[in-house]
Structure 1
């Protein structure tokens, strides 16, 4: 059984774990694809979950064909995304507030480690109203390789000044869990989609439904 007291720090992913951004990305991608005459299935969008855009682009070309115009897609999806979040905001995932209170009450260091670029991460956090919550934010800008490579989590541990093996990494995507495993961290998988890769579960140290359940488990 995992206990919070056994760790020196907690590392949060952002998209799909702290913020319900993935649903907003899926909507924007599908709207942009439709405007270009393509159809992105929900399954295809979910397969891109947790990847940095640098890794998403080859998947788009493989799915749509070499003639797919990435520049137009990037522009359109960005416009559709901004229109959507400006109208609807970005929701915080269930249980995050309680988990944060637990960490603060236990004086447990924590940080955010995301595949997003810093400018995008800060924008999302601001739209969700929690731009002042994380004292440390590690993004794709800080490392050579994004998830599923371990670099982001290793950098987070370095900044936190703790050994990665004493970090509890909270992730919702396969790419994130693979990165945590490669880094040597203890990982908790909190799926953000109904379909779960069995390999993701196998690589995880714990699987829970949401952050509220996790807070109950690790504080017991």
Structure 2
């Protein structure tokens, strides 16, 4: 059984962890790239999961050439993304609703901490039908440096009024796990892209398959006393 430490709060990433936004971004990016005369393999798009926009921009130029028009690409991909989500919406990841109900029942504080800009984060949450779920949302706009720097998680712990050492950070990307590790949080890796980078597996504190599995572990954990309860099964 996966073991968790005594914890007081949970900090969730958004893209690829709570929301299946990777699917929507890949579709939009590939359409925009084709318009501009490029083909983006799915693996290339997914490799930029969780990265700050400046890093993404550099990788795009490395892949397409230094003259690649980032502004045009951003405009086109945003248009294609809106078309996609207006038609298909955005799905929550497996187990999220169950986990949310459980931590609400246990009155465990939680928040969202994402590298996405604030306007994009709230837009995605609305498209997924969970715009009112997170009372505290920390975005790239709220910090000087995004993941993999630890600032966003330290800010989240501050707003939750909980020591970062008593926070579970749940992430799907290497950048997020690195940020959690540098912040001093206990990190739970639930990868959205397979195969998983061995460096990420080594750096995280525990890895699980999905949010449903995390719910299973928490359901057998008396988080207020910090001890595992005997399973009824």
- TM-score of the alignment, normalized to the shorter chain, above 0.5: yes
Distance across 1 between alignment mates of 2:3 and 2:135: 24
Offset at residue 194 of structure 1 (A): 1.7
Aligned to 1:32: 32
Higher helix share: 1
Q: CA RMSD in A?
A: 1.0
Aligned to 1:58: 58
Matched-pair contact (CA < 8 Å) for 1:2–1:218: no
Aligned length: 219
Aligned to 1:2: 3
User: Is residue 18 from structure 1 mapped to residue 28 from structure 2 by the alignment?
Assistant: no
Mean CA deviation greater in 47-56 or 103-112? 47-56
Offset at residue 10 of structure 1 (A): 0.2
Task: Give the match's secondary structure for 2:84.
Answer: helix
Higher Cα Rg, which structure: 2
Distance across 1 between alignment mates of 2:197 and 2:76: 30
Spell out the pairing of 1:124-135 with structure 2 (5 A cutoff): 124-135=124-135
Distance across 2 between alignment mates of 1:41 and 1:106: 43
Matched-pair contact (CA < 8 Å) for 1:180–1:186: yes
Offset at residue 59 of structure 1 (A): 0.7
Aligned to 2:83: 83
**Could you give the per-residue CA deviations for residues 34-85 of structure 1, whole angstroms, max 9, x where no partner exists?**
1100111112111101112222101111111111111110110000000000
**Could you give the per-residue CA deviations for residues 94-150 of structure 1, whole angstroms, max 9, x where no partner exists?**
100111111111110000000011111000000000000001000000000000111
**Could you give the per-residue CA deviations for residues 133-192 of structure 1, whole angstroms, max 9, x where no partner exists?**
001000000000000111110100011111101000000111100110111100000011
Aligned to 1:155: 155
TM-score (norm 1): 0.97
Structure 1: stretches of 5+ with no match in the other structure = none
User: Is residue 180 from structure 1 mapped to residue 160 from structure 2 by the alignment?
Assistant: no
Distance across 2 between alignment mates of 1:101 and 1:64: 44
Offset at residue 22 of structure 1 (A): 1.0
Aligned to 1:207: 207
TM-score (norm 2): 0.92
Distance across 1 between alignment mates of 2:60 and 2:50: 15
Task: Give the match's secondary structure for 1:193.
Answer: coil
Task: Give the match's secondary structure for 1:187.
Answer: strand
Distance across 2 between alignment mates of 1:140 and 1:58: 18
Distance across 2 between alignment mates of 1:34 and 1:48: 18
Q: Which runs of 4+ in 1 moved over 4 A?
A: none
Matched-pair contact (CA < 8 Å) for 1:173–1:192: yes
Matched-pair contact (CA < 8 Å) for 1:3–1:219: no
